[in-house]
């Protein structure tokens, strides 16, 4: 094939697809939708050739598809990171934007916001306090926040590591991979020579890799600083060297959730409905019943035009983000104050 034939072949493959509304102008094919050229003139081999090009609407469609593809790839990567890093699926829903912003949660949010600095300076956190007051939830919020940014993070515990039966090299590989590692419930592991050596290996490898570690524990700071069993001394010393202690003093989140469930069940038994006029499953524990033009909550009634009420119900009542509803916030605060008296 000579050069001219090759050029003609390439130009023919680049011919634009003709639509019924397309038209010709100045010897070029124009798109009948956006009125921009679908052909252009290019000098090739001493001749001017007509070749296909993207009109404005085709270029917009291409960019939209490109962005959609990139978004899908990003979502898939994030889903993969979350599935790999957080094996306890109950923790994947822990988010700062749906949390009650206690002083402790606010500080953990600041840690996540300053992650680049925390990572560079190898600053970790030691979340300690009584059982059930939100330490694991807060650590999971940090991990999910980083994963949403495409940063690998892992939540595990020493019992889970020990029960997995990994050899030392596999443990070290896991420890080195994740920019953030969360060790949940320190102190729950069994006391054996192998267990203690594995625990120390994990902590020490994070230290040597200069990668941050977040630890949650029901142990007191005094127990960590002055352990009764000296076997733990080098482990706790290393943790305290790497992690800044943050005490969780709040009431039990588990008890609060139990109270919410109790109020919800009472509402249902009193005649409230789990699914109402608009269908769906209502998440808010203060929801009572909804009708065409209004809905009833505990101690309140919301009246809006039907379309606005439909949107309000979807956004708050039947959504995991029901805590954002001003009525739910006010009622939650009321019950918290009542229970603390």
193 inside domain:
yes
Across 233-250, average pLDDT: 89
Across 303-328, average pLDDT: 79
Across 229-240, average pLDDT: 86
Contact 251, 129 (CB under 8 A): no
72 inside domain:
no
Q: What is the pLDDT confidence band of residue 273, given thresholds at 50, 70 and 90?
A: very low
Chain-centroid distance, C-alpha 124: 20
Pairing assessment for the beta strands 300-303 and 294-297 based on DSSP bridges? antiparallel
Instruction: Please tell me whether residues 112 and 228 are part of one structural domain.
Output: yes
Continuous H helices in 36-132: 56-85, 103-113, 115-120
Which CATH number belongs to the domain containing residue 99 in this structure? Answer: 3.40.50.300
Instruction: Please tell me whether residues 112 and 216 are part of one structural domain.
Output: yes
Write the pLDDT tens digit of every residue in 110-136.
999 999 999 999 999 999 998 878 899
Instruction: Please tell me whether residues 236 and 282 are part of one structural domain.
Output: no
Q: What is the pLDDT of residue 70?
A: 92
Residue at a domain's end among 215, 248, 281: 248
The number of domains in the chain is 3
Structural domain boundaries, residue 100: 86-248
Has residue 175 got a pLDDT over 80?
A: yes
Has residue 240 got a pLDDT over 90?
A: yes
Instruction: Please tell me whether residues 259 and 243 are part of one structural domain.
Output: no
Quote the CA–CA distance of 53 and 253 in Å, as a whole number: 61
The pTM of the full predicted model, rounded to 2 decimals, is 0.64
Across 276-300, average pLDDT: 66
**Contacts of 220 by beta carbon, 8 Å cutoff, 6+ apart:** 128
- Minimum mean pLDDT among 49-63, 78-92, 144-158, 245-259: which range? 245-259
Across 199-224, average pLDDT: 91
Has residue 211 got a pLDDT over 70?
A: yes
Indicate the DSSP class of residue 23: E
* Element at 183 (helix H, strand E): strand 180-186
Pairing assessment for the beta strands 124-129 and 243-248 based on DSSP bridges? parallel
Across 86-94, average pLDDT: 87
- Give backbone dihedrals phi and psi of 300, rounded to 5 degrees, phi first: -155, 160
Instruction: Please tell me whether residues 200 and 305 are part of one structural domain.
Output: no
Quote the CA–CA distance of 106 and 48 in Å, as a whole number: 66
Contact 5, 16 (CB under 8 A): no
Residue at a domain's end among 248, 282, 315: 248
């Amino acid at each position: 094939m000579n050069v001219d034939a090759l050029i003609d072949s390439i130009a023919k493959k680049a011919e634009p697809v003709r639509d019924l509304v397309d038209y010709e102008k100045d010897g070029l094919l124009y798109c009948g939708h956006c009125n921009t050229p679908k052909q252009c003139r290019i000098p090739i081999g001493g001749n001017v050739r007509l070749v296909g090009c993207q009109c404005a609407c085709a270029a917009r469609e291409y960019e939209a598809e490109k962005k959609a593809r990139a978004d899908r790839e990003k979502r898939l990567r994030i889903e993969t990171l979350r599935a790999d890093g957080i094996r306890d699926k109950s923790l994947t829903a822990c988010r700062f934007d749906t949390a009650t912003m206690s002083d402790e949660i606010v500080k953990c949010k600041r840690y996540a916001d300053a992650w680049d600095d925390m990572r560079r300076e190898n600053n970790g956190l030691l979340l300690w306090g009584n059982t059930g007051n939100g330490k694991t939830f807060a650590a999971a919020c940090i991990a999910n926040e980083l994963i949403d940014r495409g940063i690998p993070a892992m939540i595990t515990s020493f019992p889970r590591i020990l029960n997995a039966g990994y050899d030392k090299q596999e443990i070290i590989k896991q420890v080195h991979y994740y920019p953030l590692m969360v060790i949940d419930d320190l102190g729950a592991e069994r006391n054996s020579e192998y267990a203690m050596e594995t625990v120390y290996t994990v902590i020490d490898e994070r230290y040597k890799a200069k990668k941050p570690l977040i630890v949650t524990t029901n142990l007191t700071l005094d127990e960590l600083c002055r352990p009764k069993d000296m076997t733990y001394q080098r482990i706790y010393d290393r943790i305290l060297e790497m992690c800044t202690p943050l005490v969780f003093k709040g009431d039990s989140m588990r008890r609060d959730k139990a109270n919410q469930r109790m109020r919800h069940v009472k509402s249902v038994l009193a005649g409230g409905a789990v699914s109402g006029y608009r269908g769906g499953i209502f998440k808010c524990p203060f929801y009572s019943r909804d009708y065409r033009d209004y809905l009833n909550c505990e101690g309140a009634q919301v009246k809006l035009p039907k379309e606005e009420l439909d949107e309000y119900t979807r956004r708050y009542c039947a959504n995991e983000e029901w805590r954002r509803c001003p009525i739910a916030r006010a009622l939650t605060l009321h019950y918290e104050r009542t229970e603390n008296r």
